[in-house]
Amino acid sequence: MEHLGVILSALFAAVATVITAWFTYNQKNKEKKTDAKIEKMKQDSDQLLARNNRQIAFIYGELGSLLNRLDVDRCFIIQPHPEHKHMFLSVFLEVDKKGRSMVKDIFSHIPMSEMGSFAKELATKPFIYLDDVDAQVTDKRTRSLMLMAGSTHIAIKQLCDANGSWIGSLVVENIEKHPLDIEAAITDIKNAANTIQFILPPVN
């Protein structure tokens, strides 16, 4: 019996050692897999950031080119956000003629509920042209923001993704009663929108 006790003790000790070694190996294996996943996520995030930066730089170039070609006061993009759950409207990308104030300073994180009829028009109308903001914009909150920014003549081209979902709006405008030659501008505006809409990064 004494020998059996020794044998059992040794056996239990061996089993415990094997179990401990297995748990240690398993934990290290899980940690390696976790580290690999984290590294992959970091690489993917870095690649996405770099791609977004290139796309944003390209879009700024398109807006600047459009501003110069049409000789207008502002070109900017209104975007609904966050992605897949549109709750706000903001201007993030904007190019202005020298000396003009930036509309994005006042048009930022506006709750969609505060400008519902304007948001509906942006989401449903492919093209909007307003040659008298004060008289034509019925949404009070929208009219107030536009007049505060000095907006008078505005052309708005809807931007859609590959699935046809609204992701933003390209806006070209003049201020201080300076007319916008819409007949001459419409082709350029549509071409710029077609170039921008499939590379426009979402806002979260």
Tens-digit pLDDT profile for residues 110-148: 999 898 889 999 999 999 999 888 889 888 888 998 888
**Span 68-74, mean pLDDT?**
92
Query: pLDDT value at position 41?
Result: 47
The per-residue pLDDT for range 72-113, each reduced to its tens digit, is 999 999 999 998 888 999 998 999 998 888 998 889 999 998
In terms of pLDDT, which residue wins out, 196 or 181?
196
Beta-strand relationship, 151-160 and 166-175: antiparallel
Bridge-partner residues for 96, per DSSP?
Answer: 74
Domains of the chain from N-terminus onward: 49-196 (3.30.450.40)
Beta-sheet strand order (sheet of 166-175): 110-111, 88-96, 74-81, 166-175, 151-160, 127-130
Q: Classify 197 as helix, strand or coil.
A: coil
**Span 21-33, mean pLDDT?**
65
Mean of the per-residue pLDDT values of the chain: 83
In terms of pLDDT, which residue wins out, 165 or 27?
165
How many Cα atoms are found within 13 Å in the side-chain-facing hemisphere of 133? 26
Q: How far apart are CA 43 and CA 157, in angstroms?
A: 35
In terms of pLDDT, which residue wins out, 175 or 88?
88
**Span 188-200, mean pLDDT?**
94
Percent of the chain scored above 70 by pLDDT? Answer: 75
Q: How far apart are CA 26 and CA 24, in angstroms?
A: 5
Query: pLDDT value at position 25?
Result: 66
Q: How far apart are CA 147 and CA 145, in angstroms?
A: 6
Q: Classify 104 as helix, strand or coil.
A: helix
Task: Specify the amino acid at residue 82.
Answer: P
Q: Is 50 exceeded by the pLDDT of residue 45?
A: no
Q: Classify 20 as helix, strand or coil.
A: helix
Q: Is 80 exceeded by the pLDDT of residue 13?
A: no
Rounded to whole angstroms, the maximal C-alpha distance in the chain is 107
Answer yes or no: are the C-beta atoms of 151 and 51 closer than 8 Å: no
Mean pLDDT highest for which of 29-38, 52-61, 132-141, 154-163? 154-163
